[in-house]
Structure 1
Amino acid sequence: MSDAALATAPDDATLAGRVRDGDVRAYEQLVLRYQGAMYRLAARMLADTAEAEDIVQDVFLTAWRRIAQLQDDDAFAGWLYRITTNLCLNALRKRQPAAELDPDTTESPRADTQPEHAAQLHSQLEALTAALQQLTAEQRACWLLREVHGRSYEEIGEIVGANATQVRGRIARARVQLAEVMQPWR
């Protein structure tokens, strides 16, 4: 979206209120606004692009069906993150303990970099993806919501159903574990 379009676009609260009244175009705007972020979160949590796509479809179907349950229209983004995180956690619980990694969930290095550098970046991303899969699902969700999506500890707590202290603890443990695994890349 261009800067001019963002300046004139209605805020989340306005759009959520319109969706509650059955406005399909407002719903489409919210989907366009958040589908990328929800997909990135799901892809990183699940390490499976196809499953992430399915989860994101479920997220927006759930949001459409349950918009009347949203208490505060200003909290739409947090509510969407909560739906996404919970659906991902449910999917992870249904899996076998040792999940296969999908290398397609890592972004490709830029084509204009040197081949050696590109190979190193790709290896680092693969190592990070593998390291994320070694975290508990709850740690992974908290770490991704904080480090990748920039959510506050309080927002993450609301999303995952924990208090801010528990969220900080999960993120701290995730950081320690990730730092150990990623030590060779420093």
Structure 2
Amino acid sequence: MHNPFTEVADDDSEDADLVCQANNGDRTSLEKLILRHQAWIYNIAVRMVFTPQDAEEVTQEVLLKVVTRLSTFCGDSSFRTWLYRITANHVLNMKRRGGETTSLTFSTYADAINSTPDLDLPDPKNVPVEVPLLIEEAKFACTMGMLLCLDRRQRLIFTLGEIIGASDTVGSEVMEMTADNFRQCLARARRELYQFMNHQCGLVNASNPCRCPKKTKGFIEAGHVDPRNLLFAARHVQRIQEAAASTAREIDDVADRSFAAIFRDHPFLEPTKQAGWLRHLLDLPEVRETLKLN
């Protein structure tokens, strides 16, 4: 899979060629350009707002900005940097939505988890999917929710630098800050998440009583997990660590490496109805008028 966050972007020239052709009205080139980056933007968005449906809206908003501004890309930076700066600015300044509509802190999040009772697993005969899949959904939903306890800037930097594994150089270009500043902000976000999980989560610290199987039924009863509409878990899914294999960061601390692996084990989510999104986007009057598509 094309990974735009590698240290050396070998595909920059291909992106540039597609931009040039798209600006000359070539619809096929524009489609290829969008499809190369759409899922990556979506995976950033879902970690910013939690709810996949809201992440789809965010992704479409970003892509609309990108295609209607495509003619302004003049090659002063790589297309990757240009595109993901638009993405970063959008998600940092957009209205609150999805999981953000409830203000979360690590303290209130811990209270919510601790108030969820420890229960036996659901009866396999009474749920529409396999119980291990429900446990996975509970784990992904809970750890994804932890990201919402970070402020937006920390959340985005953690997503880029730790989950996707972008280097300090690439991350700083996207965030328009120095590499040293990016590294410091990432370290702060990692420290806050690790400290919370080390005191709360059994996945990080075996002495903690919280276990995903014990919380699964409680999450279902509280409406956090819907067995008929799984948001994150699936039977055959690519993991972030596979999609972004070439951008894994080197981490010296063994405990922190284990902590980071939890987030890199999250699913790399594919937007639903990608072809429908694309047709809708390219048929918008402002897009057709701006790019004079063939």
Q: TM-score range by the shorter chain?
A: 0.7 to 0.9
Q: Report the CA distance shift for 1:24/1:74 in structure 2 as closer, same or farther (over 3 A).
A: farther
Q: Post-superposition shift, 1:98?
A: 1.0
Residue 178 (structure 2) aligns with: 163
Q: Deviations over 1:10-35 (max 9, x none)?
A: 82121112122222211100111111
Q: Post-superposition shift, 1:119?
A: 4.9
Residues 85 and 160, structure 1, Cα contact 8 Å, conserved in 2:
yes
Q: Post-superposition shift, 1:120?
A: 4.6
Aligned equivalent of 1:153, options 163, 168, 186: 168
Using the aligned pairs only, state the percent identity: 30
Higher relative contact order (Cα pairs below 8 Å, separated by 6+ residues) = 2
Computing the radius of gyration over CA atoms, which structure comes out larger, 1 or 2? 2
Residue 91 (structure 1) aligns with: 94
Unaligned segments of structure 2, at least 5 residues: 2-12, 110-129, 205-294
Whole-Å separation in 2 of the counterparts to 1:33 and 1:85: 17
Residues 46 and 92, structure 1, Cα contact 8 Å, conserved in 2:
no
The answer to whether 1:78 aligns with 2:81 is: yes
The answer to which of 83-92 and 164-173 deviates more is 83-92
Whole-Å separation in 2 of the counterparts to 1:83 and 1:21: 22
SS at match of 2:177: coil
Whole-Å separation in 2 of the counterparts to 1:174 and 1:120: 26
Unaligned segments of structure 1, at least 5 residues: 2-9, 102-113
Residue 108 (structure 1) aligns with: none
TM-score norm. by structure 2 comes to 0.50
The answer to whether 1:136 aligns with 2:139 is: no
Q: Deviations over 1:20-79 (max 9, x none)?
A: 222221110011111111111101111122221112112221111111222328722222
Whole-Å separation in 1 of the counterparts to 2:189 and 2:84: 19
Aligned equivalent of 2:64, options 61, 65, 70: 61
Residues 39 and 56, structure 1, Cα contact 8 Å, conserved in 2:
yes
Aligned equivalent of 1:25, options 22, 25, 28: 28
Aligned equivalent of 2:43, options 13, 22, 40: 40
Whole-Å separation in 2 of the counterparts to 1:73 and 1:12: 14
Q: Report the CA distance shift for 1:152/1:72 in structure 2 as closer, same or farther (over 3 A).
A: farther
Whole-Å separation in 1 of the counterparts to 2:194 and 2:177: 24
Whole-Å separation in 2 of the counterparts to 1:73 and 1:43: 29
Q: Deviations over 1:130-172 (max 9, x none)?
A: 2211111111111111223332222222222221111111110
In structure 2, give the amino acid aligned to 1:136.
D
Count residues with an aligned counterpart.
165
The answer to whether 1:15 aligns with 2:15 is: no
Whole-Å separation in 2 of the counterparts to 1:33 and 1:73: 21
TM-score norm. by structure 1 comes to 0.76
The answer to which of 51-60 and 64-73 deviates more is 64-73
Whole-Å separation in 2 of the counterparts to 1:169 and 1:79: 23
Q: Report the CA distance shift for 1:146/1:51 in structure 2 as closer, same or farther (over 3 A).
A: same
SS at match of 2:25: coil
Residues 41 and 144, structure 1, Cα contact 8 Å, conserved in 2:
yes
